[in-house]
């Protein structure tokens, strides 16, 4: 897994980020979602590294990355804070301008990175994600039933950590090691059995229901839009279309027309259809420069 990549840690302001790097060329950052770690990208990263410098970090609070002390509004886990980690890490690695790809919760971070650091981000790829405010404003019975984990992980009166960490093997489900890749499977499960990581993941969702929404609302009110070319990768066998066609939902947030492709997979695209994902990313990065 990750042949010719280097595993390292970066001490950034207030946080320690675990990451891998490999390849050469125009840099691209790959951001995982819940409940994965950066190792979810191992098959995609190998393909991209033939033509790009690839950086795969664990989001703060996930995997081998740390989480600062909790703040009352969960700002330490905001997507703005995570986007700041991405920008700081890329500066540390000598990359002033880069592409960013994000899946699931990582899609929210990728979006926020492009919104907050427009001079740094050359291309954006979002996988199975919308701006969080778009989900929350469309919440109905169907969405609440299908995406109930948002509310379970995000509430604080009876913290979800106590339930999950009491028996993480009963709570989480993943494919078998052969399907995910044995090292990826082992890395994810080491994280899921760590109470500190479980807390970090819950804090991510708590920020999503509050401060992240506020940041999106402020951007929309100010008329801010993503400046760089943007690609949406939608899983064929998932439910990003629970609010209807995601393309018109994305369009008001973008200064350029949205590119859209459906990937023949379930939710975890990078593990289930790595070649199709890599091809789509490479076409977007190399075809819009």
State residue 3's pLDDT score.
93
CB–CB of 32/62 below 8 Å?
yes
Residue 239 falls in the annotated catalytic set? no
pTM above 0.95, yes or no: yes
CA-nearest of 140, 148, 180 to 266 is 180
Q: Which residue is catalytic, options 239, 243, 267, 279?
A: 267
Integer CA distances (angstroms), 206 to 79, 104, 203, 268, 278, in order: 11, 15, 5, 22, 31
State residue 289's pLDDT score.
53
State residue 201's pLDDT score.
98
**CATH number attached to the domain at 6-287:** 3.40.50.1820
User: Could you report the average pLDDT of every consecutive run of 10 residues in the chain (289 residues)?
Assistant: 96 97 98 98 97 98 98 97 98 98 98 98 98 97 96 94 95 95 98 98 98 98 98 97 98 98 98 98 86
CB–CB of 37/191 below 8 Å?
yes
SS (H, E, C) 164-187: HHHCHHHHCCCCCHHHHCHHHHHH
The structural domains of the chain, with segments of one domain joined by +, span: 6-287
Q: Which residue is catalytic, options 104, 116, 212, 219?
A: 104
Residue 149 falls in the annotated catalytic set? no
State residue 288's pLDDT score.
62
CB–CB of 203/61 below 8 Å?
yes
């Amino acid at each position: 897994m990750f042949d010719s990549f280097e595993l390292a840690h970066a001490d950034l302001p207030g946080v320690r980020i675990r990451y891998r790097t490999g390849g050469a060329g125009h840099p691209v950052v790959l951001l995982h979602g819940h409940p994965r770690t950066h190792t979810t990208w191992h098959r995609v990263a190998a393909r991209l590294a033939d033509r790009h410098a690839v950086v795969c970090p664990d989001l703060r609070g996930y995997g081998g990355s740390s989480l600062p002390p909790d703040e009352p509004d969960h700002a330490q886990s905001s997507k703005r804070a995570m986007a700041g980690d991405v920008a700081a890490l890329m500066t540390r690695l000598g990359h002033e301008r880069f592409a960013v790809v994000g899946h699931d919760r990582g899609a929210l971070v990728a979006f926020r990175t492009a919104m907050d650091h427009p001079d740094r981000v050359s291309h954006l790829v979002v996988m199975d994600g919308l701006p969080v405010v778009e989900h929350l404003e469309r919440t109905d019975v169907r969405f609440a039933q299908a995406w109930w984990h948002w509310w379970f992980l995000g509430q604080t009166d009876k913290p979800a950590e106590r339930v999950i960490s009491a028996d993480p093997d009963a709570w989480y489900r993943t494919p078998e090691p052969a399907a995910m890749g044995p090292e990826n499977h082992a890395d994810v499960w080491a994280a899921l059995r760590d109470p500190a990581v479980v807390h970090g993941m819950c804090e991510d969702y708590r920020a999503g229901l509050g401060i992240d929404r506020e940041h999106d609302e402020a951007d929309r009110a100010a008329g801010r839009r993503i400046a760089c070319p943007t690609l949406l990768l939608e899983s064929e066998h998932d439910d990003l279309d629970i609010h209807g066609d995601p393309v018109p939902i994305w369009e008001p947030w973008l200064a350029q027309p949205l590119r859209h492709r459906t990937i023949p997979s379930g939710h975890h695209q990078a593990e289930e259809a790595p070649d199709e994902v890599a091809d789509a990313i490479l076409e977007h990065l190399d075809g819009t420069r």
